[in-house]
Amino acid sequence: MNKCKSFKPSINTNSEVLILGSMPGVKSLEEQQYYAHPQNRFWKVMGAICSSTDLHKMNYKEKLAVLLENHIALWDTIKACERNGSLDTDIMNEIPNDIGSLLKKFPNIKCICLNGNKSYLAFKKYFPELLEKYKCYKMPSTSPANAKYSLENLIDKWKAFSC
């Protein structure tokens, strides 16, 4: 079983939307970058939502900068866990991030988008009071494992949230 640890949040005082994944996959952990797997559609979806630019082809710092310019912060619901591979269904012994403290430190956050089922379930388990306090959206996962959604469907679903 591999020990996995999430990254620091990408956030600033202008952030209004917090997108929470569950735990970075193997490729993301290797690269130390959110959504680094080339088949993950997160950056394509965000590019369509934020700026109609191809974020997928930008370098990592540029991608994060575009999100922050669009008032979007990134983090994970889970701080640490054990898992072999990248599947959320294999996550064991999870420890949540301190999302409550982050939200106190960054009071401009108006809504929270939970990228995928595991992120939503962990958030609901550890932070039920935040589900009541914030507009929270359970979004379809951008993971390549979520073959149920085409890229166009994902973009439509993600565009539907409003804060």
Q: Does the pLDDT of residue 163 top 70, yes or no?
A: no
Rg of the chain on CA atoms, in Å: 15
Pairing of strands 78-83, 135-139: unpaired
104 HSE (CA, 13 A, CB side): 4
Q: Which two tokens stand for residue 32?
A: 């130390």
Average pLDDT for the chain: 92
pLDDT, one tens digit per residue, over 119-148 is: 999 999 999 999 999 999 999 999 878 888
Q: Are 99 and 73 in contact (CB under 8 A)?
A: no
- Per-residue HEC secondary structure of 42-103 comes to HHHHHHHHHCCCCHHHCCHHHHHHHHHHCCEEEEECEEEEEECCCCHHHCEEEEECCHHHHH
Phi and psi, residue 150, nearest 5°:
-75, 165
Please give the Cα distance from 92 to 82 (Å, whole number). Answer: 5
pTM for the full predicted model: 0.94
Q: Are 135 and 110 in contact (CB under 8 A)?
A: yes
pLDDT, one tens digit per residue, over 43-79 is: 999 998 887 678 878 899 999 999 999 999 999 999 9
Which of 28-32, 50-54, 74-78, 107-111 has the weakest average pLDDT? 50-54
40 catalytic per annotation: yes
Domains of the chain: 2-159 (3.40.470.10)
Query: What local confidence, expressed as pLDDT, does residue 162 receive?
Result: 58
Banded model confidence at residue 9, pLDDT cuts 50, 70, 90: very high
- Catalytic, out of 14, 40, 70, 117: 40
Which of 31-45, 56-70, 94-108, 148-162 has the weakest average pLDDT? 148-162
| Percentage of the chain modeled with pLDDT above 90 | 72
